[in-house]
Amino acid sequence: MFSKRAVTRVATSTPSSTLTRPFSSAQFLQRAPALSDVQPNNAEPFDKKQKDFRDNLAAQSKKQREAERSSRSTTPAKSSSSMSSSVVPDNAVTMQASEGLGSLSTATGEAARQQDDASNKKKPGTGRLSNLIYGTEEGREMDRDIERSFSQVLARGKYVHSIVFHEVKPDKVDEYVDLVSGWYPKVASNPENKVHLVGSWRTEVGDCDTFVHIWEYQRYEGYHASLHNIQNHPEFADFDKKLKKLIENKKTSLMQEFRFWPTTPPRQLGGVFELRSYTLHPGNLLEWETHWQKGLAARREVMEGVGAWFVQIGDLNTVHHLWQFADLEERRARREQSWSVPGWGETVHRTVPLIQTMKSRIMVPMPWSPIA
């Protein structure tokens, strides 16, 4: 069964007429989208679409909360303490809609984190390091974090994401777009595949002619089942054979979301995207999460976040942040504006020493991308 989030993705994705495009080769190749296609000085319509998206998301969340309240009212009442620990505050959605750009899911993500932390707590002094840390609360929390895996401490746990990089031969770009446009939407629209396409983009600044695709699965079990089902599809072998002739290189990593930054549902705001990739010094992921949870509160006031993930299989110690802007000029203005927001400077000061290398890619969405 798919979650409510999965249903939302299917309902708001590309219309079905584009999802059922025949796999056979088209008579005319689709032209790959380019940065020049993005209309400059487009901040005002971008902001309006963004506001409409947030308002709609807030309304849906409010409706869901009201339905849950109605359902609870028909069941035996629980103690007030147990209910207060499991219900997201009434003002959470209002905060998401009013605290500025990029605040779509922060409140609910933090509520999930607090709930997970509560379920994972142990009795003081029972950790293997408790005798060395003298039983302080800070020490006990460190002990708990050490004894739990990163996925328990950092991730939401419900979803696994793959990020796929295709380095396409320069003279094969349009042919690649035509091939993938007939296969990826078909894969994503088939419920039996148990996978959702977060988005597809072409890199225009950075690793040019590199295409980036992010997929979402229901945990690793879902990933394995999806892989098995897709690769046993009767048309997969033909697709894979053609794809190998069009690309120079393919790289895949499996990731999980940070709990404080859930991936946005499908939306069509327009503009450009920036994928910022950081390779951290080993052992610093927990510290990165701590500082960025505070930093996002500052950034969301001026910038629109799409999602943040850390790699668990593949390029280890790598973190990806995905942002969306009206255009490159608006990106410059928003990034400069971040420095005037209290808390952002401290986040930069504390996270820069954790980084080994970093990379930025400016990307444009593909026509079939649910997030565009």
Higher pLDDT, 345 or 220: 220
Contact 292, 351 (CB under 8 A): yes
CA 367 to chain centre: 19
Q: What percentage of the chain has pLDDT greater than the value 70?
A: 66
| Model confidence at 341: pLDDT above 50 | yes
Q: Is the pLDDT of residue 103 over 80?
A: no
Cβ atoms < 10 Å from Cβ of 276? 14
pLDDT of residue 109: 40
- How does residue 6 score in pLDDT terms, banded at 50, 70 and 90? very low
State mean pLDDT over 297-319: 88
Give the model's pLDDT for residue 11. Answer: 40
pLDDT tens-digit readout, 50-62? 677 777 777 887 8
* Contact predicate 354/263, CB 8 Å: no
pLDDT for residue 36:
57
pLDDT of residue 150: 46
Whether 334 shows a pLDDT value over 60: the answer reads yes
pLDDT of residue 40: 65
Selected residue with higher pLDDT from 42 and 318: 318
Which position has the higher pLDDT, 56 or 157? 56
The answer, yes or no, to whether residue 264 has pLDDT greater than 50, is: yes
Higher pLDDT, 172 or 117: 172
Of 48 and 347, the structure prediction assigns the larger pLDDT to: 347
Angle, helices 173-181/236-246, rounded to nearest 10 degrees: 160
pLDDT of 174 over the 70 cut? yes
State residue 47's pLDDT score.
74
Listed in sequence order, the residues at least 6 apart from 130 whose beta carbon sits closer than 8 Å to its beta carbon are 124, 139, 140, 143
What mean pLDDT do residues 324-329 have? 93
Assigned token pair, 115: 């709930």
| Domains of the chain by residue range | 159-365
Q: What average pLDDT does this structure show over 143-149?
A: 46
Question: Looking at residue 39, what is its pLDDT?
Answer: 66
pTM score of the predicted model: 0.65
Class of the CATH domain delimited by 159-365: alpha beta
Q: Which of 74-78, 95-99, 265-269 has the lowest mean pLDDT?
A: 95-99
